[in-house]
Amino acid sequence: MTLLCIDVGNSFAHAGLVRDGCVLERCDIATALLAQGPARIAETLSRLARKAEGAAWCSVVPRVNGPLVAILAGSFPSRRVFHLTPESLVGLAIAYPHPAEVGQDRLANSVGAQKLCGTPVVAVCLGTASVIDVVSPRGYEGGAIAPGLAAFADYLHEKTAQLPRIDTADLATPSAIGRSTAEAMKIGLREGFAGMVKALVAAVMADLAADHAPVPVIVTGGGAHVLAEGALPNARFVPDLGLIGLEEASRRASIR
């Protein structure tokens, strides 16, 4: 069964056709545009919907939910549309004390990581925010939240008089000693962000170490390119973790 899965984040909504854990086709839509519901956005999603037998979605941006639900209702009038929430989640207990506070994207990533690696597992999503999620044999435990890579770059530019805006897609420099303001900023962003992520994961792993052998780590999100290979032990990169998790969450709910 092919599902249209849509993971609405703060900056982008990631949409893709997913079957048996494989993303067959995908696209990214600016969340601000999706919130406005223009016809061309609806047509983009409807084009994907025509190739799907149902849909699954999650969102961390409430103002988008209405326009998205309307698009999906038009595309799937008689087919199942699954919305991932703490209440609809099946197959992953929530050990977190405040389930209503857990972002739906965190649930999607956690289900995806659980599907790929079992438990325990740590999911690291480096998007608008840097989010670390822990899934243990007890269920979803919680994690850590810190600024994303772009947030660091934007802050330096917006809160200073002379520092330029840096394109975080390219933070390469000839050495670790910046010979220009831009180079110095790239080094600070690259090494500082990578160091922050490694420290957060290490802190989580230290808490898990007492109870578990080495824990696998799944990394996703646009900021992952900053991490050097091997920066996180037992880690692998899965670009569409949230979409994979949405498909799995929908499958589990349908057979409950």
C-alpha–C-alpha distance, residues 91 and 232, integer Å: 28
133 is known as an active-site residue: no
Contact 2, 52 (CB under 8 A): yes
Peptide bond into 67 cis (omega under 30): no
255: which DSSP letter? T
Q: Which of 7, 20, 28, 105 is catalytic?
A: 105
Residues 6+ apart with CB under 8 A from 130: 124, 145, 146, 147, 148, 149, 193, 196, 197, 200, 223
What gap in Å lies between CA 40 and CA 135, rounded to an integer? 38
**Cβ proximity of 127 and 10 under 8 Å:** yes
| Radius of gyration (C-alpha) of the chain in whole angstroms | 19
SS3 144: strand
Structure tokens belonging to residue 42? 């609806």
- What are the catalytic residues? 105
